[in-house]
Amino acid sequence: MMHKPFYTATQNACKNCTPLGAALAFSGIEKAIPLLHGSQGCSTYMRRYLISHFKEPVDIASSNFSEETAIFGGGANLKLAIENIEKQYAPTMIGIATTCLSETIGDDVPMILESLSKTAGKAALVHVSTPSYTGTHVDGFHQAVKAVVDRFNPVSNKKQYKPKKKQTVNLFPGMLSNEDIRHLKEIFHDLDTRVIILPDYSERLEGPSWVEYQAIQDGGTPISWIEKMNLSAFSLEFGNVLENQVDQKGLTSAGSLLETRFNVPCIRAGLPIGVKATDTLFQHLEYITGKPLPDKYSSQKGRLIDAYVDGNKYVSQRKAVLYGEEDFVVGMAGFLGEVGIIPVLCASGGKSSFFEDALRSVLPENIFDQVRVHENMDFARMEERARFLKPDLVIGNSKGYAMARRLKIPLVRVGFPIHDRVGGTRILHIGYKGALHLFDTIINALLHMQQDSSQFGYSYM
């Protein structure tokens, strides 16, 4: 007799709304304001969601659809919203992301913005189509980054490249933590190489306390830098799944757009989580910059490998449920595989169709054979499958807390969003230092569980 699930719809999806990712990407640009073309509830939800993770004020404007707007179109609302934003914030850019409602009724946003071109203020207008029924927040993030690069690097800007004394690298890191972005800046600083990171919300969404109110927080990638991306020597783009989407599906990413339009070579690599992936990153950087790896990072790698040896007995053959954005899960799975943890269930709300292939490329065959891979997943089905796999821990964002609690195993919080702990923006995932932090955190979570469940407890490992 076939087992039938007790539900017929998605329950607690393992993803977030597409325009949420676009709003975050726009927030990583200096003096930019995100605007959601749709109902007030969309912007309120996403603003609150981002504030909960970043613990910083996040302004997301709305064109404020009503019942009447949903019937007759939102063009007038959009124009009024843009006027109000320019008066209140005086931004350099307004990033306009469409929601399900405006997409469903068929608002022609490019045409509306074209009609504003002669009367609009000083803010540049960037539009991205992001109905939630077409993807995840990561899809919205990548699409917004591409739209920004497209807007500020038009074909008309094509010039003959003139080599400069100090070459510049474009970096499209994807949806990483603030601490990850700061660490990437540190790496390029140590290599004495200028980098343009897009987006960069590491300061804008985690700045110091204000003496006076700021309508728009300091930080973000300056538009004047984005306009010069077509003159960079190389682009570097993170994400195994994104790479497959570009190479096999013909998706246009920010890096591939610059490569096609301006012949800026684009190197794609997985998220640099763990020894192997970080080694790959530094090999690319040595090739791009022509400079050797600084001794500082060789020392970090040595400490990490020593930690792997010291902690192997605590993690070897342990089983984990791993979930989140596809590329993030792939990066984390590669790290788990190299320390001896088996990610018996790898799940994501994404549905790129490249998730399984990307996991196979980063995991040893003997470990991959023990992995269950699930795209388009929700937490109800994830928990159902996890119960049969008997994992030792859960690794992912805060949305998996209820599942981990019912399974009575620890949750190691990584990625986005982290709602039920402080410091989610300061979790370092990438590089040798990030892997060391993750390794310690995982071992300590397992030891904590062991101590709490022991009849006597213990004071020494």
In this structure, are 148 and 31 located in the same domain? yes
CA distance 454 to 136: 41
In this structure, are 271 and 336 located in the same domain? no
Q: How confident is the model at residue 461 (pLDDT cuts 50, 70, 90)?
A: low
In this structure, are 318 and 448 located in the same domain? yes
In a domain, 163, yes or no: no
| pTM of the complete model | 0.94
In this structure, are 128 and 203 located in the same domain? no
Q: What is the CATH number of the domain that holds 128?
A: 3.40.50.1980
Classify 337 in phi/psi space as left (phi over 0), alpha (psi -120 to 50) or beta.
alpha
In this structure, are 205 and 138 located in the same domain? no
In a domain, 337, yes or no: yes
Last residue of a domain, one of 122, 155, 188: 155
In this structure, are 363 and 419 located in the same domain? yes
In a domain, 296, yes or no: no
Model pLDDT for residues 285-298, shown as the tens digit of each residue: 999 999 999 999 99
CA distance 308 to 315: 9
Last residue of a domain, one of 155, 188, 218: 155
In this structure, are 354 and 432 located in the same domain? yes
Last residue of a domain, one of 99, 132, 155: 155
In a domain, 160, yes or no: no
In this structure, are 250 and 282 located in the same domain? yes
Model pLDDT for residues 317-365, shown as the tens digit of each residue: 999 999 999 999 999 999 999 999 999 999 999 999 999 999 999 999 9
Alpha-carbon torsion, ordered 72, 76, 80, 81, to 10 deg: 50
In a domain, 449, yes or no: yes
Pick from 139, 441, 429, 440: which is nearest to 281 by CA?
429
Model pLDDT for residues 47-97, shown as the tens digit of each residue: 999 999 999 999 999 988 887 777 777 888 999 999 999 999 999 999 999
In this structure, are 180 and 150 located in the same domain? no
CA distance 272 to 240: 11
Can you state the angle between helices 275-289 and 326-339, rounded to 10 degrees? 110
CA-to-CA separations, 258 to 49, 165, 237, 239, in angstroms, rounded = 32, 21, 12, 17
Which residues form the domain of 59?
A: 18-155
